[in-house]
Amino acid sequence: MTVHEPSLTMPRTPESPPLPAVPPPWRWHAHRLAGVADFEAHAPAWDQLLQRLWGDHPMLSAAFVGELLRRFGSGREWLLVGRNTEGTVQGMAVLRRGRGGMWASFVPSQAQIAPVLLADGQGIAAMYRALPGFAWRIDFLCNDPDFGDLAATAGRQPNTSWHALTTAVDLVGGFEAYWADRPTKLKKYMRRYERKISAAGPVRFVVVTQPEAVAQAVARYAVIESSGWKGRAGTALRVGNDQFDFYQTLLARQARQGGAEVYELWLGEQQLASRLTLVSAQQVLILKTTYDEVHSEFSPSHLLLYRTLEHAFEFHAGKRVEFYTNATREQRLWSTAQRHIQHASYSRYEPLQAWVRVARALRARLLRPMWRPGTQSTSASLAATVALPADLERLMSEAETAGIERGHAWFANLCAHVPTLAEHGRFEVARGTDGEVLAVMPTQHLPRKGWRGAALYALSNFYSPLYTPVLTDNVTRNEMASMLHQAMRRAGACRAQFFPLDVASREYSLLRDGFITAGLPVFQYFCFTNWYLPVKGDWATYLANRPGSTRSLLLRRGRKFAALGGTLEVITGGERLEAGLQAFADVYAASWKQPEPHPGFVPGLMRASAERGWLRLGVAWLDGKAIAAQFWLVNGRKAWIYKLAHDAQQSTHSPGTLLTGRMIEAMFNSGEVDEIDYLTGDDPFKRDWMTHRHERWGLVAFDPSTLSGLAGMLRELLGQTVKSLLGPLRQRQRLRRAPTPETTR
């Protein structure tokens, strides 16, 4: 395995390997929306594109977007329309012009997702040219990945942030089956409140669908909401305000087409709760919910939700109920599906993006010079070599099913065989107010080294193909900021560095946003390329799509290898384990590779993996001697190709290629994985086997209140800026020096 470890003193920012250029299949045109009539001129094309992309979505319909613009538009909104060369509309988006060349999605608080109709992010790079004036950044806010994954692009990857965890209920299988699958605690809770409200009087569940009645129901909703905490905070619907006019007009209009319903819960003649919804051919979309706080003893919002879902299963079977809320743990108990709503920020000029991140962090520090952790969580630190409390062990074991690098077994083996990690390793632990674990962040507290000062590092090194802190769904950027702030203080650190990270992951965005929120300027840098293979179809189809040279080699060398008595074996543990470990060690010693700096690490990982059923140790044998070996790990529907080697004197048999083919074939035939991951490095041979690529990046942050941190921040900021400015100049110089066709003829 080729390994790449950023310097433990100061990371440089190597050039990211070039991604394949994918020209957008359309051209963008910008139309200013001075009023809603300007948008309505494009409404038919908007709805046609929505229908073509996803069928329907009430919150993305032209009726919903038009009403948003009518009530909450400022005149700074623009409609972007992208067409292909034939004039067919391929993408549309409503953006709002900001300051300094920055644009963002038009997302009033009444919309939980942005009015953007794009299947992915492939065409976004061409948008800048269509926008008026100097445009260098577009923030696509509140994107539902089920209705356009705007982070998916072959060009420069955007900065993504996870905004909210939303939930849904799929209306399949009947309400009885759905309710039977709910947690026992939830069902017990609901039975208690059903008994309580039934004893208080007659209960009515009312479904309002007629247009005039819907308008009246919205007015009743406003009375309830304005009498509660939202009314006191000034954010409630109140008869006559813009919010009220928006919802009443929208729902009454949609009700005329059978597209709106209001659900109400009554106790006698007293209304306890109300829920506003939009209905389409595919969805029941929850817009707003309120309840009378005077009667909170009955938990009316939960009683209404129960009846709403019961009604939806009967009258809207096959659809999906969408909640579009940042769901609490209790709300998630009702759901059958969950996903993250995210922001995707595209930057035309990366140096400007770096300066903006620094400015945001410094602004946070100036506004809160004595930043203190919030009251929602507490943080503690444990030595990485001690036994973990049971709840931490349980959380990391659960996380391990999603990735080996998240589990305690991985870090325990790492610390057991790398003395410096054992000496400095710590587990930073965040807990909620109820004491439940929110996050576990394995780190190193590195002592001061020269002028650079002490540092907080990820508990990772060249053995780590990926670093992923263990975060529950309840962790927010503020809690991440609190955790990082306290960890930095405990380490006495002036800088922090985490690598290698999945740049598209929630963990990456929370770490980056946590640093900014804590007032710590943060920079990102490229670590290495990661090739992987989605396991789809069968082995024969996959093999048919490999390069002809690879197929020919497998056939010819395979026959010759078998004729010589060669065999291929896959060891998973048991009595063959120690023989397999010795075979791997013998092959590694006979290969071209340098000896392991920590020779106990790989055997220790193999033994731990065998105990957990992860180990797939492939060995090629010839004349009773191991001539190639590969160490694979299989867990969570994913296979890691962790270490491989072959005897340099046996290269004529291509034992490594034969063994790779045999291992991949086994993965296809077993059906136990959905993905094969070649981990680190952009080695050309990996492209013969893999079809897709990721990038792994790192984050480095500085505390500017310390001299070392301030110096490091300025050095990194200026270095990235100069490098970005010189890059195009060097590229032009190379092109000028390149031989012309005439000189090479």
pLDDT digit string, tens, across residues 64-76: 999 999 999 999 9
Q: What pLDDT is attached to residue 705?
A: 86
DSSP string, 593-624: SPPPSSTTHHHHHHHHHHHHT-EEEEEEEETT
pTM: 0.79
Strands (E), 128-184: 137-143, 159-170
Q: What pLDDT is attached to residue 372?
A: 55
For residues 178 and 266, membership in a common domain is answered with yes
Mean pLDDT of 378-395: 90
User: Alpha-carbon distance 593 to 709, whole Å?
Assistant: 38
* In-domain check, residue 500: no
For residues 215 and 293, membership in a common domain is answered with yes
User: Alpha-carbon distance 730 to 745, whole Å?
Assistant: 26
Q: What pLDDT is attached to residue 297?
A: 95
Strands (E), 558-691: 567-571, 615-622, 625-635, 638-646, 675-677
- pLDDT at 250 > cutoff 90: yes
| Count of H-run helices and E-run strands, the chain | 25, 26
Exposure on the CB side of residue 606, measured as CA atoms within 13 A? 28
Q: Which of 284, 53, 290 is nearest to 148 (CA)?
A: 53
Tens digit of each residue's pLDDT (9 = 90 or more) over 460-476: 999 999 999 999 988 88
Q: Binning pLDDT at 50, 70 and 90, where does residue 745 land?
A: very low
Contact 634, 616 (CB under 8 A): yes
| Cα torsion angle, 738, 740, 741, 745, sign | negative
Q: Binning pLDDT at 50, 70 and 90, where does residue 734 land?
A: low
* In-domain check, residue 483: no
Write the CA distances from 65 to 20, 78, 126, 645, integer angstroms. Answer: 35, 13, 24, 58
State the burial class of residue 21 (Cβ atoms within 10 Å of its Cβ: 0-12, 13-18, 19+). exposed
For residues 184 and 302, membership in a common domain is answered with yes
Q: What pLDDT is attached to residue 493?
A: 95
Q: What pLDDT is attached to residue 291?
A: 97
Strands (E), 336-424: 337-347, 377-383
Mean pLDDT of 477-502: 94
For residues 308 and 176, membership in a common domain is answered with yes
Tens digit of each residue's pLDDT (9 = 90 or more) over 306-321: 999 999 999 999 999 9
* In-domain check, residue 116: yes
Tens digit of each residue's pLDDT (9 = 90 or more) over 286-343: 999 999 999 999 999 999 999 999 999 999 999 999 999 999 889 999 999 999 999 9
* In-domain check, residue 133: yes
Tens digit of each residue's pLDDT (9 = 90 or more) over 564-609: 999 999 999 999 999 999 999 999 999 988 999 999 999 999 999 9
Q: Which of 205, 307, 319, 217 is nearest to 260 (CA)?
A: 217
> Which H or E run contains 363?
helix 350-367
CATH number where 626 lies: 3.40.630.30
* In-domain check, residue 33: yes
* In-domain check, residue 453: no
> Which H or E run contains 104?
strand 102-105
Number of domains in the chain: 3
For residues 90 and 182, membership in a common domain is answered with no
Q: Which domain holds residue 113?
A: 27-155
Contact 247, 241 (CB under 8 A): no
| Cα torsion angle, 672, 677, 678, 680, sign | negative
User: Alpha-carbon distance 278 to 274, whole Å?
Assistant: 14
Q: Binning pLDDT at 50, 70 and 90, where does residue 377 land?
A: low
Q: Binning pLDDT at 50, 70 and 90, where does residue 732 land?
A: low
For residues 145 and 224, membership in a common domain is answered with no
For residues 651 and 556, membership in a common domain is answered with yes
For residues 43 and 95, membership in a common domain is answered with yes
DSSP string, 288-329: EEEE-GGGGGG-HHHHHHHHHHHHHHHHSTTSEEE--S---H
CATH number where 123 lies: 3.40.630
> Which H or E run contains 252?
helix 242-255
User: In the listed set 98, 122, 155, which residue is the last one of a domain according to the structure?
Assistant: 155
User: In the listed set 268, 293, 318, which residue is the last one of a domain according to the structure?
Assistant: 318
User: In the listed set 108, 126, 155, which residue is the last one of a domain according to the structure?
Assistant: 155
Which token pair is 564? 């010589």
Mean pLDDT of 32-39: 96
For residues 180 and 111, membership in a common domain is answered with no
Q: Which of 161, 156, 145, 140 is nearest to 80 (CA)?
A: 140
For residues 655 and 542, membership in a common domain is answered with yes
What 3-state class would DSSP assign to 282?
A: coil
State the burial class of residue 38 (Cβ atoms within 10 Å of its Cβ: 0-12, 13-18, 19+). middle
What are the CB-based long-range contacts (under 8 Å, 24+) for 61-66? 61/280, 63/250, 63/253, 63/254, 64/111, 64/115, 64/250, 64/278, 65/39, 65/94, 65/115, 66/36, 66/39, 66/40
Q: Which residues pair with 618 in a beta bridge?
A: 570, 630
* In-domain check, residue 576: yes
Exposure on the CB side of residue 159, measured as CA atoms within 13 A? 23
**Helix, strand, coil percentages for the chain (3-state, nearest 5):** 40, 25, 30
* In-domain check, residue 81: yes
**Worst-scoring range by mean pLDDT, 166-170, 200-204, 222-226, 380-384?**
380-384
Contact 276, 287 (CB under 8 A): yes
Q: What pLDDT is attached to residue 376?
A: 58
For residues 144 and 187, membership in a common domain is answered with no
Contact 733, 518 (CB under 8 A): no
For residues 589 and 664, membership in a common domain is answered with yes
Tens digit of each residue's pLDDT (9 = 90 or more) over 66-111: 999 999 999 999 999 998 888 889 999 999 999 989 999 999 999 9
Which token pair is 711? 């110096």
